[in-house]
Amino acid sequence: MQTFLHGRDLISDLDFSKEEVETVLDMAFDLKRKRAINELTPYLRDKVLAMLFFFSSTRTRGSFEAGMAHLGGHAAFIESRTTQISHGDTPKEIGEIFGRYFDGIAIRHVDWGLGNKYLNEVAKASRVPVLNMQCDVYHPMQCLADLMTIMEKKGRDLRKKKMVISWAYAASYQKPISVPQSLAIQMPRFGMDIVLAHPPEFKLMPEIMDQAYEQARKFNVGFEVTDDMDAAFKDADVVYPKSWGALVHTSDPEEGARIIDKYKSWITDERRMKLAKPDAIFMHPLPADRNIEVTDAVIDGPQSVVYDEAENRMHVQEAVMALTMS
């Protein structure tokens, strides 16, 4: 157990070592147990977290606000459009000033080519931890919740378990690629054999793929890429189909929409779930485009763990905040 995480930022999934991630998970499981028996956990009494949002949220805002309250502190919701950021406040000024007002700064900024850069510039100027609530490159909090959920369902030893990270069709917009990217670099560290499935235009960032292959080599696990969704699902223990944009291929929304529209068959339905193992679990970070990305029968079915996954966002975030802000 690595116990000294005070003052640390969590922006990239690899900011914490595997042992430090295990410490976060140990604490998250303990916090979940204590909440179940109504044991108070005021580890951050009188501490205040700034939550700066450039992108709307349901689970992220709710889980961070509830988590800070459970820890005895307060979360201040700050919508970027209600600030002077558009009128001149720079990332350095946000880091310097919020770093003096607050005990931690959490930011959600998913604009392609801007979000991760912004978080790192704030962190460089801040005297308090900066936590990534999702950027254009990474979504570490979601990935930690996913890892916790898989361990609850499949046990702490995940070696030789097959996880499919698959693109899925969704017509709403070019969604961020941060969720599959975080999964691709984090999950190999815990022994899972990864199959990444996507149409040719939906590649992840080359530097992320390099990191994913590096982690797979380091931890001696499989990492495959395919453009065949059915083949990917075969004998899987965990399936994680989610839409993301063709952002590496093109940042043009109209062209991206035309490309997405070519692959309406990439839906997770009962037929595809039967290709996986009988006890396979279906995961999704939500919200899902129902009956477009995944059928109701799957997302509401017995193999779906999406609500446990959403709950675990709160527990892992509480653990990260308690360890970094105490």
| pLDDT tier for residue 1 given thresholds of 50, 70 and 90 | confident
Per CATH, 13-139+313-325 and 141-309 having the same topology is answered yes
- Whether residue 178 has pLDDT greater than 90: yes
Mean pLDDT of 262-272: 97
pLDDT for res 325: 97
pLDDT for res 251: 87
Mean pLDDT of 20-48: 98
Crossing angle between the packed helical segments 206-218 and 178-186, to the nearest 10 degrees: 20
Domain boundaries, the chain: 13-139+313-325, 141-309
- Whether residue 302 has pLDDT greater than 90: yes
> Is the domain covering 13-139+313-325 a CATH 1.10.357.10 domain?
no
Fold of 141-309: Rossmann fold (3.40.50)
Smallest CA-to-CA distance from 246 within 285, 284, 205 is with 205
| pLDDT tier for residue 171 given thresholds of 50, 70 and 90 | confident
pLDDT digits (tens, 9 = 90+) for 97-139: 999 999 999 999 999 999 999 999 999 999 999 999 999 999 9
